Chains A and B, each alone.
Chain A
């Protein structure tokens, strides 16, 4: 986007009487006019126009954004504030003017290739190779499933084996770069991207499957925009499972199931139906939709550095999303993102069972006739 076009977009948002604010998760968390799409736009507009430069608080406000793009769903002129915030963050990082709390993510990725500062050697500790001799598929695990949500990773391998795939993982998998792209560390993200592209392009897998929508968006949107080519098809697990609906096992889950659309999978990649089809096939019931779903789904609160920098507010957003699931009487809250699952499960308490899609599918495979959770 040209500078003049960006300023015009910011002008529209800065001049709007806040028609999307009521849907912005960070407005919900802070109940202030500052961390809102309008607030971010006004700060960037004034900076661009030379009215008022970004100060430390303004920079903080720009990092109080989940980049979830829900505002875009409610924006008639289609001003993409999330992208503009992301571009602004890149400038701030290049100038060394970003919240220092992000250093622990960026330095961990730089040294350990994951944002959790876990040893790289532990990345595939969870993996137990199976003996299936079918179509070769490489599972790019993603950092959250590899280190914090091993159940998702193991479930994925198990399901893929059930479906006849020969699953491999690679010891050379690095962070996909998504947390870096979203928080402005683009150059460091590019390093990860180039490494991953080299690794994946050389791998034996005929296709690549991911469970993390952050990885999926990085591979299918960010990498191509950066001119980094993956020479194999990339599928999100929900897309792959949709192709095998008949092979999935259906059982009675014993209660209403709702689905949380991850922002990277839904609004950013347009994938809404495949996970729903899988859930409906496996449970034999319709997904009970939350009041805010699909294009209008609320973010879980975990994205774009929010949980790292503003833990309490991220949790407030997670709590709100869990409440929305409870409001529709759900017993199960299923998502299709290890990062979302991690946040939602941490806020759900005992009355709501949070599952990632592969965990749900495997539960059906492993059960007799009724899933007990």
Chain B
């Protein structure tokens, strides 16, 4: 929290920038902005605990205002936590050291849709579903549809280096972001031109994508568009185990086929999310596929993929489970009475690894997480020719808050350690935030020093989202 004198100075200058109606120092607003969708924050709120609060929440309407606010914050050495939709799952927008929460929700304009170059220029505070529906009306898709689409926004997509559920075909946010506008800690505005690629030194966009507010505030982006696919087919294949399912996925990519959706549910996840609606033999693993494109191409891709699956021991379930998942893909994001009762907490460790390590990572993480009495279920999704991601989902319930939070932390510690030990990477698309901050150095190894040095140059006073991405507190 800020001292009274600093806060008074800050408030005076903030008011001069955004006017009296677009900032608040009210505790109620701070409470309502204090959490994102980090399951531990939500569990603590349910348990009646309070979370760290910002001193001031500011709602800028332009890049110019963001720039002025950062200049003031930098001068006064006040922490700045950018907030997008507040839908992140890692505590990335938690104002750990108080200061300013820079809430970008008023920057919600879709500035230009360019059908010739297939681009959309959009402000960072635009909610994902609003952007997707608007470009849909023009006959396009962003191809970026994370489960949080209704709550997350463009700035958050980019800040957390996110991935959508159809990313195997359309790509992740780093593939989709062609142009970027960011504001640095000293208030300078940096623009990375929107071009398909370049060879003018390193691609600095990639420095800012995934920086989680620790290097800059993202204010605007130019994203790729795709024509809406003329057809989308769903296909479901049930395998006797994870291994055969992964073999099939690998073979599909080797054929040069890029399904829009590739999701392989392990036996536990199949039992919970598929067997409740479809007859599935116990222990089997359901693979859900979708294919986007022209009908002729989709037909071919689907039939080759189906053949590969059957050759790897799958039973054909037709479009059923896959289509059902697609139509209910947001449902799992809603809380349930069971998962929110007592001192329950669940979370997802979304790791990624190459095929040669993927199964080992899966088995080892599952083993160490289950050792804490957690229910663990997983699905493999966001697959590539070289490997893929696993959603290691766990759920634990304890008789009291202290043991629940401690067990939660132990599961994370042991799960991430197992992942790193077996050669995986601790996050595929959710980011680091607060949850994984302490593991960042171990994850990045020698490259962590590079990140730290970049941080020191761009944010010498350490005001930008302190405590996240392994960067420690502010000075």
Contact = CB atoms under 8 A, between A and B. Distances in A.
B45 A15 contact: yes
Given A18-B86, A61-B28, A12 B151 contact: no
Shortest beta-carbon contacts, A-B, top 5? A17-B37, A57-B28, A76-B334, A31-B105, A18-B151
Given A14-B45, A31-B59, A19 B125 contact: no
Given A15-B45, A18-B86, A42-B45, A32 B336 contact: no
Interface in B91-146: 103, 105-106, 108, 125, 127, 129-130, 133
B334 A16 contact: yes
Interface string A48-74: 011110010110010000000000001
A338 to B, nearest CB: 31
A34 interface: yes
Question: Dominant SS at the A interface?
Answer: loop
Contacts of A57: 26-29
B150 A22 contact: yes
* Central interface residue in A18, A49, A57, A75, by most chain B CB within 10 Å: A18
Contacts of A34: 28-29, 32-33
Given A12-B337, A19-B334, A33-B103, A43 B28 contact: yes
B42 to A, nearest CB: 5
B445 interface: no
Contacts of B335: 11-12, 15-16, 77
Size bracket, chain A contacts: 20 to 34
A43 B32 contact: yes
B324 interface: no
B87 to A, nearest CB: 5
* Central interface residue in A22, A46, A74, by most chain B CB within 10 Å: A22
Given A11-B340, A61-B28, A77-B336, A50 B87 contact: no
A22 B333 CA distance: 15
A184 interface: no
Interface string B34-50: 00110000100110111
Nearest to B153: A22
Contact of B340 (A12, A42, A51): A12
Interface of A: 8, 11-12, 14-22, 31-34, 39, 42-43, 45-46, 49-52, 55, 57-58, 61, 74-77, 291
A18 B340 contact: no
Contacts of B278: none
Interface in B20-74: 26-29, 31-33, 36-37, 42, 45-46, 48-50, 57, 59
A52 B105 contact: no
Given A11-B46, A12-B337, A31-B108, A22 B29 contact: no
A190 B45 CA distance: 37
Given A18-B85, A22-B150, A55-B28, A49 B48 contact: yes
* Central interface residue in B28, B48, B57, by most chain A CB within 10 Å: B28
